[in-house]
Amino acid sequence: MTSAASRGATPFVCYGTSVRRGTSGVTAFAIFHRRDVTRARKAFIKARTALGAPHTVRFDSRALQPGTDPLAPAGTEEARKRLTHMIETFNAVPGMLRYAYIDLSGYPTVLDDSTEGRKAWGEVGQVLRNACFAVPAGGELGPQEHECEVLMAEDGDRNAYAHGVLFDLADMIGHACAPSLPAGESGWAQTTLDGVRYWSKQEVRHRFEERSGLAGTQNH
């Protein structure tokens, strides 16, 4: 999915993902000036290689979560080290992190893989995406949507050489934003994300209606 502007004609490229984790919903974007995209891809290939992950394998949110995946970290300290290294690379390019989040604890629809659940999550994701780009003109808080080519990891080709590494980055960042939100933005992932030099966030405040789900949303 791209912005309304002609694909390839915008000054910025945004690599995004939408994540639900526990009672949190998050949409996050890694934003780069178009002139920096090639440099970003090369920098993250180098960063991943230094962490033992060649660009030919997925190095996304699973690289932060202990488990059975071959690239799963041994524990929190290794996960923190990985995220810290990726953030240092992100700052050096430079990139901008932007995310919006919502508390879904009162949401009336089960956000599962059923048809109804996927539709409801799609609506939530669109609200979060809109919130991410609800920034004033002028660039102080980064670009508006019409200035961006918006590429979502869940819609894109994760294996494509041109974008795969940066989709992995978006997935990693999105999941890193989500786990600590219910705890009031405490926790190792959010603390590590505080190292991002350029960032902005939006909280979506809302009321829920039994039938229509989201209603009365506003950004904060």
pLDDT of residue 4: 41
pLDDT of residue 207: 52
Q: SS in 3 state form for the chain?
A: CCCCCCCCCCCEEEEEEEEEECCEEEEEEEEEEHHHHHHHHHHHHHHHHHCCCCCCCCCCHHHHCCCCCCCCCCCHHHHHHHHHHHHHHHHHCCCEEEEEEEECCCCCCCCCCCHHHHHHHHHHHHHHHHHHCCCCCCCCCCCCHHHEEEEECCCCCCCCCCCHHHHHHHHHHHHHHCCCHHHCCCCHHHHHHCCCCCEEEEEEEEEEECCCEEEEEEEC
pLDDT of residue 56: 82
3-38 residue pLDDT tens: 444 455 899 999 999 998 878 899 999 999 999 999
98-120 residue pLDDT tens: 999 998 887 877 788 888 888 88
Q: Between 51 and 158, name the one with better pLDDT.
A: 51
What is the pLDDT averaged over residues 61-88?
Answer: 91
Q: Can you tell me the distance from the alpha carbon of 188 to that of 192, in angstroms, rounded to the nearest whole number?
A: 6
What is the pLDDT averaged over residues 139-151?
Answer: 92
| Angle 188-163-27 from CA coordinates, rounded to 5° | 45
pLDDT of residue 139: 85
Task: Flag whether pLDDT at 209 surpasses 90.
Answer: no
**By percentage, how much of the chain surpasses pLDDT 70?**
86
Q: Can you tell me the distance from the alpha carbon of 67 to that of 74, in angstroms, rounded to the nearest whole number?
A: 8
Length of the chain: 220
Please name the amino acid found at residue 75. G
161-201 residue pLDDT tens: 778 999 999 999 998 888 644 444 447 887 898 899 998 88
Q: What residues contact residue 39 under an 8 Å CB cut-off, 6+ apart?
A: 93
**By percentage, how much of the chain surpasses pLDDT 90?**
45
Q: What residues contact residue 85 under an 8 Å CB cut-off, 6+ apart?
A: 47, 50, 51
